[in-house]
Structure 1
Amino acid sequence: MSHDHAAPKNLTPAFQWAVGLNTVYVILEAIAGFMTGSLALIADAAHNLTDVAGLLIAWAAMGLAKRTPSDQFTYGLGRSTELAALANAIVILIGVGAVVWEAMGRFQTAVEVPGGTILAVALVGIGINFGTAMLFRSSQHGDLNAKGAYLHMMADGAVSVAVVLAAGGILLTGWTWLDPAVAILVSLVIAVTAYGLMKSSLRLTLDGVPENIDKNAISDWLANLPGVQSMHHLHIWALSTTKTALTVHLVMPEPAEPNFLTETSHELEHEFNIDHATIQIEHPDGQCESK
């Protein structure tokens, strides 16, 4: 039976542009933040720095996932993409905690910040963040790493919009407390996004059924295949953020058709996005214990 699968979309150019643009912006934003004393800019720069690190981790994991299986890693290194997504989420949550802690202190000691400079830097950030998010938009539904990158860039774009609004508010009212307030608000939004990514990546790391896979639908489909009396030992798990594996035992009283395994594997891939199916056929008199 053939196990050839279409290669995932090449995201190397997207990662190259995303890392390059965001690195330049982090440097610009950090310099502006320290020169003006704006916590909102510093918070955004710190978050963007973690995003650059996360993009580099995801990019490296994507490269590892392309390596062929070996004697030691018989499924290859595809799971590194899951670990990259999990690490990315954890780093972001740690950064959020640090920013919120610093922002709380700013309410005790107000810091004068130039709204005009903050406004100009944040406007640049809107273009860069939403622009890089679009690089991963088409791939986010089939790859958790691409989804993580897309969500992070969209969140960063929202951060920049919030910073623009804060800067405008400071210019109009002189309320410097808007700076730490926006930093906290933005951090909470980012935390919610990072939590969702962490939950999804942890699920895959623990061999949970991927969110885009309907196990009940697959179970019903397998049980209703011609010649199948019953089924058991159905296991579905992620080999990487883009590939899914399945194993199952099918009880068949009569010998299966010559093309049964090939056609079943093909349909599992076509209908349910199962890239690697291993099917064991058993006779009712010699079937293993079902658990």
Structure 2
Amino acid sequence: MVEIVPEARLSGGTPHGHDFLGANHGRNERRVWAVIALTVTMMVVEIGSGIAFGSMALVADGLHMSTHAAAMLIAATAYFYARKHLSNSRFTFGTGKFGDLAGFASAVILALIALLIGYESLLRLSNPVPIAFGSAIGVAVVGLVVNLVSAWLLKDDHAHHHHGHAHDHPADGAHGGRDNNLRAAYVHVLADALTSVLAIVALVLGSVYGWLWPDPVMGLVGALVIARWSWGLVRDAGGVLLDYVPPGEDLPDEIRAALGADGDRITDLHVWQVGPGHHAAIVAIRSANPQPLDTYRAKLAHIHDLSHLTLEVDRF
């Protein structure tokens, strides 16, 4: 006998929605839009001032800010779209993965930025160009301040994945978990802050000693660090998109330990993330003496972050 037990029956027999957005989805969306507003304002001021005062350094940094705002727009759009289509029945497992898709796209953009910075730095090492140290230092300092404020706004309180809620859809919906979309936005502003710091160091050295080489060397260092951050984001967001269970995720072991007892044998198990702090699972069990559904539900009640479950019970 094969019995398919849908998650709705395990959680009391009442159908439910598939809201697998992170606990701080709305707050994170608002913060990303705030950073976009801050960045666009700074961009307009820098480009306007650069044109008015004839400073190419200001114009160049303003144009760089525009790419920064575009990257933030990816994150904001993903938050909006996931929320807007939360009740769309065609997304059968909800819209919680939109953030990971946006995070993956942002990671690819970060990798391209690292390549461009590295390429430009190599060109400047082979063909040094004159630098207006005073103006450039001023621009870098202002950019650093803006990026530090942005980083503070985007800092994720749940940066480390943690378990904290049973699978029965708690009323407060307070699931934790890493939000790769917010993380991608945070890494973008962190990368900008890093390049500002390295630029300030290189420019100060150049203004004191007259050296031109520290600027491209610091650019290469920044490119390598940004590339490393990009790879980490590609790996984590890509893993979620491909339903990969990372080595540190103990949810499959918890399910096996909870259900693999009393003569029951788990013959198949699938676990995947459907949103920040939300996981789904399909479990196939063979048992000589299948238990009532409430018994299986009780065994799994302590499992954290399990938001959607399907059980298949097969009698020997």
* Fold shared by both chains (TM-score > 0.5): yes
Of 179, 184, 197, which residue of structure 2 is paired with 1:143? 179
Counterpart of 1:81 in structure 2 is 99
1:191 counterpart = 2:223: no
Change (3 A) 1:43 1:177: farther
2:152 is matched with: 134
Aligned ranges 1:197-236 → 2 under 5 Å: 197-210=233-246, 213-215=249-251, 217-225=253-261, 227-236=262-271
List runs of 5+ in structure 1 lacking aligned partners. 286-291
- Is contact 2:244–2:272 with CA below 8 Å preserved after alignment? yes
Structure 2 CA distance for partners of 1:153 and 1:255, relative to 1, 3 Å: same
Q: Does 1:248 align with 2:280?
A: no
In the alignment, which of 23, 29, 35 is matched to residue 8 of structure 1?
23
Q: Secondary structure at the match of 2:195?
A: helix
The count of residues paired between Structure 1 and Structure 2 equals 278
Contact 1:237 1:246 in 2 (8 A): yes
The verdict on how the C-alpha distance between 1:219 and 1:258 changes in structure 2, with shifts beyond 3 A counting, is: closer
Distance 1:241 1:54 in 2: 21
Q: Residues 45 and 190 from structure 1, CA distance in 2 versus in 1: closer, same or farther, beyond 3 angstroms?
A: farther
Displacement over 4 Å in runs of 4+: 3-7, 26-39, 41-45
**Contact 1:222 1:231 survives alignment (8 Å):** no
TM-score by length of 2: 0.76
Mean alpha-carbon deviation: is it higher for 89-98 or for 133-142?
Answer: 133-142
Are 1:99 and 2:108 an aligned pair? no
- Return the match for 1:61 from 62, 78, 88: 78
Residue 89 of structure 1 aligns to a residue whose secondary structure is helix
TM-score, normalised by the number of residues in structure 1: 0.82
Q: Say if 1:258 and 1:229 are closer, same or farther in 2 by CA, change over 3 A.
A: closer
Kept in 2: contact 1:234–1:246 (CA 8 A):
yes
Match of 1:17, SS?
Answer: helix
Out of 249, 258, 278, which is 2:310 matched to?
Answer: 278
1:178 to 214, 222, 237: 214
Higher RCO by CA contacts (8 Å cutoff, separation 6 or greater) = 2
Task: State the match for 2:4 in structure 1.
Answer: none
Looking at structure 2, the residues matched to 228 and 126 of structure 1 have their Cα atoms a distance apart, in angstroms, of 62
1:168, distance to aligned residue in structure 2 (A):
0.9
- Give the match for residue 88 of structure 2: 70
Verify the 8 A CA contact 2:57 2:139 in the aligned structure 1: no
